[in-house]
Amino acid sequence: MNDPVRPSLAKYRKYHVFSFMIIIAFIFISFSETFLSMFHIWYTSEAFQHGMLIMPISLYVIWLKRHKIKLVSFNVNYYGLVAVFFLCLLWLLGDIAGVQLVKHFVVMSLFSSVVLTCFGFSLFKTLLFPLGYLLLAIPLRAPFVYPLQQVTADMVYFGLQLTNIPVFREGQLVHIPAGTFEVAEACSGINFLTAMVTLSILFSYLTYRSYKKRFIFLMLSIIVPVIANGLRAYFIVLAGHFISMDVAGGADHIIFGWQFFGVIMLLMFWVGHKYADHEESVRS
């Protein structure tokens, strides 16, 4: 389907850029409270500190595409303007309902709609990945925490049974003769899973041209951290059983967790890089 666009000469490109900058500045001012609430979550929550890096990463990917951007003609697309209108309406509904998630989704989606409006579908399509990547900055994890806690507790319980260690499970509590362990929210692995998926999406986009390779790597970036977290929790319980509960429950197990996850992440990217395509997809 053709775009409802008005062709513009190359010398008018600067006016498109100027209009874009004005609208973006207006968005930051108008929705400053929403942006500040997101920044507060990024700054105070360990699980979402990666949110502060999402926009710089997106800008970096756009910079990598700078040569292709020069070849794209700029046009005004009025579908984008309609999208901006409906997003603003959605923000208003979210504000009335007091749902921060909706408001956060709207402000991060507005960037894509404004790009479509000011530059047209051709550039929007070229920048689809960095624009979509901005959505990863939205603080969202609550629906995944409890299922991850249950999976971790299942793996610990199953591992203890295999090693013939007396165990009794009660929900998220794992009882062994040495004491009781709770698979709390911090033990669910949500922090590492979030970081791993965020980096893996970028890695797969920059490394692979094949959608099949991208899909496989992204699936592994979800499965491997979940399994790794279950093993981490299992090793901690073993430490409590064979060494002492103080060692297993102390601050050292948190340090061990991030060291363990760091090794897993490096191995994932190292193996993934061995199957890299010769030409970087981001420049295609």
**What is the tens place of the pLDDT at every residue in 203-229?**
999 999 889 999 999 999 999 999 988
Q: Does residue 5 have a pLDDT over 70?
A: no
- The domain boundary, picked from 119, 137, 155, lies at 137
Q: Does residue 145 have a pLDDT over 90?
A: no
Burial class of residue 191 (count of CB atoms within 10 Å of its CB; 0-12, 13-18, 19+): buried
The confidence score (pLDDT) of residue 129 equals 96
Contact indicator for 153, 120 with CB cutoff of 8 Å: no
In a domain, 220, yes or no: yes
The confidence score (pLDDT) of residue 283 equals 52
CB atoms within 10 A of CB 106: 23
Q: Does residue 91 have a pLDDT over 60?
A: yes
- The domain boundary, picked from 105, 137, 169, lies at 137
Say how far apart CA 163 and CA 156 lie, in whole Å.
11
In a domain, 150, yes or no: yes
Instruction: Kindly state whether residues 66 and 189 are assigned to the same domain.
Output: no
In a domain, 164, yes or no: yes
Q: State the pLDDT confidence band at 141, using cuts at 50, 70 and 90.
A: low
Q: Which structure tokens are listed for 191?
A: 């922090």
In a domain, 253, yes or no: yes
The confidence score (pLDDT) of residue 255 equals 55
Q: Which of 214, 211, 281 is nearest to 64 (CA)?
A: 281
Instruction: Kindly state whether residues 94 and 203 are assigned to the same domain.
Output: no
Report the Cα 49 to chain-centroid distance in Å.
Answer: 11
Instruction: Kindly state whether residues 204 and 159 are assigned to the same domain.
Output: yes
Residues in the chain: 284
The confidence score (pLDDT) of residue 63 equals 94
pLDDT digits (tens, 9 = 90+) for 148-202: 889 999 998 898 888 888 888 888 888 888 788 888 777 788 888 888 999 999 9
The confidence score (pLDDT) of residue 25 equals 95
Give Cα separations from 177 to 54, 194, 244 (angstroms): 45, 34, 11
Instruction: Kindly state whether residues 219 and 266 are assigned to the same domain.
Output: yes
What value does the mean pLDDT take over residues 55-77?
91
Structural domain containing residue 73: 10-137
Instruction: Kindly state whether residues 57 and 173 are assigned to the same domain.
Output: no
In a domain, 1, yes or no: no
pLDDT digits (tens, 9 = 90+) for 14-25: 888 899 999 999
Instruction: Kindly state whether residues 273 and 153 are assigned to the same domain.
Output: yes
In a domain, 3, yes or no: no
Instruction: Kindly state whether residues 146 and 253 are assigned to the same domain.
Output: yes
pLDDT digits (tens, 9 = 90+) for 94-140: 999 989 999 999 999 999 999 999 999 999 999 999 999 999 999 87
Q: Which residues contact 120 (CB under 8 A, 6 or more apart)?
A: 3, 5, 73, 74, 75, 76, 77
Q: Which of 25, 16, 32 is nearest to 115 (CA)?
A: 16
In a domain, 4, yes or no: no
Q: State the pLDDT confidence band at 245, using cuts at 50, 70 and 90.
A: low
Strand order in the sheet with 173-176: 168-170, 173-176, 179-182
Work out the percent of the chain whose per-residue pLDDT is above 70. 88
Instruction: Kindly state whether residues 88 and 177 are assigned to the same domain.
Output: no
The confidence score (pLDDT) of residue 250 equals 52
Give Cα separations from 58 to 52, 64, 82, 149 (angstroms): 11, 10, 24, 32
- The domain boundary, picked from 99, 119, 137, lies at 137
In a domain, 194, yes or no: yes
Instruction: Kindly state whether residues 200 and 242 are assigned to the same domain.
Output: yes
Instruction: Kindly state whether residues 192 and 67 are assigned to the same domain.
Output: no
Instruction: Kindly state whether residues 151 and 269 are assigned to the same domain.
Output: yes
Q: Which structure tokens are listed for 114?
A: 């404004």
Instruction: Kindly state whether residues 81 and 199 are assigned to the same domain.
Output: no
Question: How many domains does one find in the chain?
Answer: 2
CB atoms within 10 A of CB 178: 18
Q: Which of 103, 115, 277 is nearest to 207 (CA)?
A: 277
Between CA 205 and CA 220, with CA 279 as vertex, the angle to 5 degrees is 35
